[in-house]
Amino acid sequence: MDKEYVLHWLKAAGIRALKTVAQTAVATIGTAMVLDEVNWIVVGSAAALAGVLSLLTSVAGLPELKEKEE
């Protein structure tokens, strides 16, 4: 793998992970608001786990990079 590909992968995977973290945090906060109490530790840990899972999923391949290769 060349350095340029790795940098593109890191950028694409990072953007995807950040979006996933934000979506998970919003969903967790929304669910907690229904229960009248936001547990910020749960929000943070769920969002962090979602980000890690997103990065691990990105190892299998990113459609964004396949579009650039063509």
Q: 5-37: per-residue pLDDT in tens?
A: 889 999 999 999 999 999 999 999 988 888 778
Distance CA 17, CA 11 (A): 10
Measured at the alpha carbon of residue 24, what is the angle toward residues 18 and 30, in degrees to the nearest 5?
Answer: 135
Q: How much is the CA Rg of the chain, to the nearest whole Å?
A: 15
With a CB cutoff of 8 Å and minimum separation 6, the contacts of 35 are: none
Q: CA 20, 7, 58, 46 torsion: positive or negative?
A: negative
With a CB cutoff of 8 Å and minimum separation 6, the contacts of 56 are: none
**For the chain, percent of residues with pLDDT exceeding 70:** 93
